[in-house]
Copies of this chain bind each other. A is one copy, B any other.
Amino acid sequence: MRILLVNPNMTKAMTDRMAGIARAVLPEGMDLVPLTAERGFPYIASRAEAQVGGAVAYEMIAAHAETADAAILAAFGDPGLAGARELFDFPVVGMAEASLLTAAMLGERFSIVTFSPVMQRWYVDSVRDAGLTSRFTGVRTPAAHSADVGAVRETLRADLIELCNAAVQEDGADVVILGGAPLAGLAHEIEEDVAGVVVDPVSAAAAQAVALLTLTRPAAFARRHSKPIAKASKGLAPALSRSFARETAG
């Protein structure tokens, strides 16, 4: 079975790191296919960028759809998630949604901690879109934005531990999600310093992809009454055009 790890950001180092973390979760016989966006942005951080990044992600998935069994949208915020589920006949996992739903099984209330106040709005909206606002205790972030996003795992490590403990002690969270691709893997490193369960979104997304593959068969997706009607299109990447047309490649 092949799971696509779709990074809609153009930063390959980020994809590589996430692929390593995801592979550590997969059982034998499940292969991960890491994909890095070739157009778009170095790092998506707004709704506008997510609109474009989501469409890019569809191109990436479509190009591998015929040989894939599932896809992970590997950007916290899940650009294009609802539409990807309509379009493709296999499970699509969003890194944010998978973390939120996992957190909801690990405790009654959960929080998100991330590296920049810039991400806050988008993450709050993710929780609303997932429908889990009633169990959410909020986002905690450092006060200022760090220019060097790639370095935050190191430079903000102590701050992030403190924010996690504030989420637990002041906001009443049972579980803390370390949101944002630049923090991938950090949960495993700092969990002993936090008085609660810490969730790594990449691991959570990979584990959920495994769960969904265990529970479903592709034919059920193909049979869906709620699948959109096949559509002609113009000017789209050829594979994506075929996905919208519900055609198999020839």
Q: Which residues of A contact B (CB under 8 A)?
A: 10, 25, 27, 38-42, 45-52, 54-55, 58, 80, 82-87, 91, 93-94, 97-98, 101-102, 104-109, 118, 120-121, 128, 130-135, 145, 165, 168-169, 172-174, 191-192, 194-200, 203-204, 207-208, 210-212, 214-217, 219-221, 223-226, 228-229, 231-236, 240, 244
Contact = CB atoms under 8 A, between A and B. Distances in A.
A108 B132 contact: no
Contacts of A212: 102, 105-106, 207
Contact of A168 (B54, B91, B208, B225): B225
A174 B226 contact: yes
A192 B217 CA distance: 10
Contacts of A101: 101, 104-105
Interface centre among A52, A135, A172, A220, by most chain B C-beta atoms within 10 angstroms, is A52
Number of copies: 6
Given A105-B208, A214-B25, A220-B197, A48 B42 contact: no
A57 to B, nearest CB: 9
B236 A215 contact: no
A40 B221 CA distance: 24
Contact of A224 (B58, B91, B134, B195): B195
20 contacts: A38-B234, A39-B233, A48-B58, A51-B51, A51-B83, A52-B233, A54-B55, A85-B106, A97-B104, A101-B105, A102-B211, A109-B226, A131-B133, A131-B134, A168-B226, A169-B225, A174-B226, A196-B223, A207-B211, A210-B210
